[in-house]
Amino acid sequence: MVAVALLPPTVTAGLVLSIENFKSAYGAVLLLSVTILSVNLSALVVFLAKGLSLRLWLKPKMAKPYMFCGIFIGAAILAGLFVRVIQITI
């Protein structure tokens, strides 16, 4: 399912870059970035919800705060990209 989400914007970006249509390529790369961030964020949230932790972590007590920090940073970047997508479409 992840490949189905990632393949179309990647192919679109490659095709429109080959014909030097940079505005469309920017939109496709932006969509690809949003998709990758969304997949990573959903994986982090599922790991936290299921109680999975990193067993081979250097500092096991810091694994959970790092996951929360990753979710926060990913959500902030995703919100910024979402605002950029809204600005492009308006």
All residues at 6 or more sequence positions from 3 whose CB lies less than 8 Å from its CB, including other chains: none
Backbone angles phi, psi at 81, to 5 degrees: -65, -35
So what's the pLDDT on residue 27? 84
Domain ranges, residue 22:
2-89
So what's the pLDDT on residue 14? 92
DSSP letter (8 states) at residue 61: G
pLDDT band at 19 (very low <50, low <70, confident <90, very high): very high
Task: Look up the pTM and report it.
Answer: 0.74
pLDDT digits (tens, 9 = 90+) for 20-73: 988 888 888 888 888 888 888 888 888 888 877 666 666 767 777 888 888 899
Number of domains in the chain: 1
